[in-house]
């Protein structure tokens, strides 16, 4: 089923020209959203101006590969407001990156899968639609090396990035007036997956293309074995020289490092590469393609100091079952599962992330949905036994700014001034900052320089929203054993941990400690990478300054003090609704236990949903109920070093980004309509100053 939809708008230039009155053929799933939002299509310059941070998602899937919904539907539900006409809440994200797998796919991703249960949409293959114009897009042939026949004929992902997903972004951008980016979940040679975006050339407000993103996928994705790629008018390869051999083990890792180097050389300020669910496939395997050890994160950050800048959480937050936690993690994952909906690399105090921070590296944490489907539910249902739609449960907050654009997303991620939130436990206005005696405040990702012995003041402010997106109003079953009655749809904060560790400087490749033996299963949770890391202070919410807001939310504030020593260190923060030593949920220090322990708790309220897994007929805390019961946020670190000490690697890499921005190497092929306002890589300190000047007064 399809409808004709007319959009009246200005004429743009470039590869994807949109006429003054454009006729778009929309599938049934998207027509009502288009009609709702078309009248509001203006140049998006200042999203939610009262919020110092804006929320987004960079890892999600559609029917171009193994997702359940069309590319357009994924965007619609993630960034639209209100309720979709076909049913289902929309989640009003401020920015959104299509982060689909590499490789190939046989389904036409302008259509949702039959399993999504969206009226008018059924599973449709490329063989059924070649030559037809759908959503304003016409595909006449499947390019590159032939891959399958009939309904099994595959489109290589480089083609769907260029010719389907990016044009879909072009079509949706004026409808929603949001920042939309074409990205990739890179199937990494020698490893599992990494989120990548290359925004060079992209400008969906009127012209541009995703050719550089497509080229990266073609050259470096191990699932893309196409040997041809696009051809020019003389049938010559546009992207020659592909390595189609070294895709696994140690040789594959070297190819992956070459991919990071390619990003650093060609798009150092307009790309990122963030390993995702990095514990899931177990430790690195030198003869296959499994997970990551700490040396591989180090290799990536060394090869791409302004590109390889972090670790992403598992996603798949509603997959917790009787036998495992969220994230599709099995008992063979490093750590044996998830911990508070995070992997052990970030959840463990003194774990792999702390090992990297202990070198002073610019390695930050990010959260995303990894949206594929809702398991036993359809896309429009309120419950899920698998994934949440982007913005429904996970939110990655990056700094807001005037003239917010795709470059703002990457700049914000690179700066480290970002934080990750599950289940709306806190809102878009967190303050996490530190200063010395009579000094300037420094926030996440920045370095505070002080005198040994100097008192350091750390301040945090957070807003606890009045509600979240949970469809359940019964009390949190994980908290009932400790006497707390808290509805699942009303966020709560029990405490915040301020976690601190010493910084000893980068370890050179090949030096002792650079490579660390890893282990699958719970043995991997015992590995300590930074033994100096501790929960330095734990602040209970009941001891924080509290200010009730008119909208039902609550503003919390606290300050803490540290004393500067002779050595550099960092302070990072996390917060949760789970009290210390909650049975089957947290240990005596307040750190999360292995999430599979949550299923020892029964869900006995009459409103507990029927889709929960059972033991002897008794419902257990699984799936989406588990996700809304065990809730955390993570804030990136503030670095501190003494006067006269060498600059930290995080400082050096920020200065490198500033230098590259001054040179403006690839400045002129992206977001041209905004160039009069900002250079593409404006200085790091100036960027923070501008953000603080705009929003800082509200926190004083």
Q: What is the pLDDT of residues 574-628, one digit of tens each?
A: 999 999 999 999 999 999 999 999 999 999 999 999 999 999 999 999 999 999 9
Residue 656: burial class (beta carbons within 10 Å; 0-12, 13-18, 19+) = middle
Mean pLDDT, residues 535-556: 98
What spatial distance separates the first Cα and last Cα of the chain, rounded to whole Å? 55
Q: What pLDDT, in 10s, does the model give residues 258-275?
A: 999 999 999 999 999 999
Q: What pLDDT, in 10s, does the model give residues 399-412?
A: 999 999 999 999 99
The C-alpha R_g of the chain, in whole angstroms, comes to 24
Q: Work out the angle between the directed axes of helices 166-176 and 28-37 (0-180°, nearest 10).
A: 40
Q: What pLDDT, in 10s, does the model give residues 367-392?
A: 999 999 999 999 999 999 999 999 99
Cα dihedral 277→301→216→667 (10° resolution): 130
What is the share, in percent, of the chain residues with pLDDT greater than 70? Answer: 88
| CA gap 604, 478 in Å, rounded | 11
Nearest CA-CA partner of 433 in 410, 462, 411, 412: 462
Give the predicted TM-score (pTM) of the model: 0.92
Q: How many CB atoms lie within 10 A of CB 415?
A: 24
Mean pLDDT, residues 63-84: 97
- Tell me, what's the pLDDT at 663? 74
Does residue 393 sit in helix, strand or coil?
coil
Q: CA distances (Å), 139 to each of 17, 135, 155, 333, 624, in order? A: 16, 11, 10, 40, 38
- Tell me, what's the pLDDT at 301? 98
- Which pair of tokens denotes residue 236? 């010559």
Cα torsion 129, 135, 139, 140: sign? positive
| CA gap 203, 596 in Å, rounded | 44
Cα dihedral 537→543→548→552 (10° resolution): 70
Q: What's the pLDDT band for 325 if we cut at 50, 70, 90?
A: confident
- Tell me, what's the pLDDT at 258? 98
**Exposure string over 220-236, b if 16+ CB within 10 A, otherwise e:** bbbbbebebbbeeeeee
């Amino acid at each position: 089923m399809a409808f004709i939809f007319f959009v009246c708008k200005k004429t743009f230039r470039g590869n994807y020209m949109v006429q003054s009155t454009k006729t778009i053929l929309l599938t049934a799933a998207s027509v009502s959203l288009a009609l709702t939002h078309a009248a509001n299509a203006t140049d998006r310059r200042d999203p939610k101006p009262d919020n110092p941070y804006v929320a987004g998602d960079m890892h999600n899937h559609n029917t171009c590969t193994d997702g359940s919904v069309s590319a357009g539907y994924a965007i619609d539900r993630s960034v639209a407001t209100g309720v979709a006409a076909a049913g289902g809440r929309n989640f009003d994200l401020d920015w959104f990156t299509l982060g689909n797998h590499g490789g190939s796919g046989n389904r036409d991703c302008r259509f949702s899968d039959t399993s999504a249960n969206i009226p008018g949409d059924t599973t449709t293959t490329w063989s059924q639609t070649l030559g037809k114009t759908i959503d304003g897009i016409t595909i006449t042939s499947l390019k590159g090396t032939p891959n399958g026949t009939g309904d099994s004929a595959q489109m290589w992902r480089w083609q769907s990035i260029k010719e389907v997903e990016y044009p879909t972004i072009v079509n949706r951008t004026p409808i929603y007036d949001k920042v939309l980016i074409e990205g990739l979940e890179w199937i990494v040679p020698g490893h599992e997956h990494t989120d990548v975006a290359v925004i060079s050339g992209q400008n969906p407000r009127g012209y541009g293309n995703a050719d550089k993103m497509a080229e990266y996928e073609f050259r470096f994705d191990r699932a893309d074995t196409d040997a041809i790629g696009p051809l020019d008018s003389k049938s010559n390869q546009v992207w020659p020289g592909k390595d189609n051999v070294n895709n696994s083990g140690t040789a594959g890792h070297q190819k992956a490092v070459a991919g990071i180097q390619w990003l650093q050389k060609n798009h150092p300020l307009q790309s990122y590469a963030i390993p995702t669910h990095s514990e899931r496939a177990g430790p690195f395997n030198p003869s296959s393609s499994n997970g990551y050890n700490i040396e591989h994160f180090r290799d990536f950050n060394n090869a791409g100091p302004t590109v390889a800048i972090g670790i992403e959480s598992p996603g798949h937050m509603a997959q917790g079952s009787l036998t495992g936690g969220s994230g599709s993690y099995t008992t063979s994952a490093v750590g044996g599962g998830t911990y508070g909906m995070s992997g052990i690399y970030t959840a463990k105090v003194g774990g792999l992330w702390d090992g990297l921070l202990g070198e002073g590296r610019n390695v930050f944490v990010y959260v995303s949905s990894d949206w594929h489907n809702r398991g036993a539910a359809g896309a429009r249902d309120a419950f899920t036994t698998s994934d949440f739609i982007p913005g429904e449960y996970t939110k990655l907050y990056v700094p807001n700014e005037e003239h917010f654009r795709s470059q703002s997303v990457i700049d914000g991620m690179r700066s480290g001034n970002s934080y990750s939130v599950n289940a709306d436990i806190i809102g878009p206005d967190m303050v996490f900052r530190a200063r010395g005696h009579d000094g300037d405040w420094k926030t996440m990702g920045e370095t505070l320089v002080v005198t040994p012995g100097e008192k350091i003041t750390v301040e945090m402010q957070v807003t606890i929203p009045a509600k979240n997106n949970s469809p359940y109003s019964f009390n949190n079953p994980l908290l009932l054993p400790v006497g707390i009655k808290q509805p699942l749809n009303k966020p709560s904060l029990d405490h915040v941990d301020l976690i601190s560790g010493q910084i000893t400087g980068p370890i050179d490749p090949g030096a002792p400690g650079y490579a660390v033996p890893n282990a699958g299963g719970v043995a991997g949770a015992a590995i300590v990478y930074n033994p100096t890391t501790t929960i330095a202070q734990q602040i209970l919410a009941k001891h924080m300054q509290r200010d009730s807001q008119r909208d039902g939310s609550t503003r919390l504030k606290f300050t803490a003090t540290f004393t500067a020593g002779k050595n550099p260190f960092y302070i990072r923060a996390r917060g949760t609704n789970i009290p210390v030593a909650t049975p089957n949920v947290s240990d005596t220090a307040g750190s999360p236990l292995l999430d599979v322990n949550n299923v020892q708790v029964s869900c006995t309220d009459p409103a507990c949903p029927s889709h929960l897994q059972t033991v002897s007929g008794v419902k257990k805390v699984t799936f989406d109920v588990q996700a809304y019961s065990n809730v955390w946020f993570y804030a990136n670190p503030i670095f501190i070093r003494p006067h006269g000490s060498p600059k930290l690697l995080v400082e050096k890499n920020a200065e490198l980004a500033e230098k590259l921005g001054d040179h403006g190497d690839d400045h002129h092929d992206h977001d041209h309509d905004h160039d009069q306002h900002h250079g593409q890589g404006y200085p790091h300190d100036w960027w923070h100053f501008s953000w603080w000047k705009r929003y800082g007064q509200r926190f004083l």
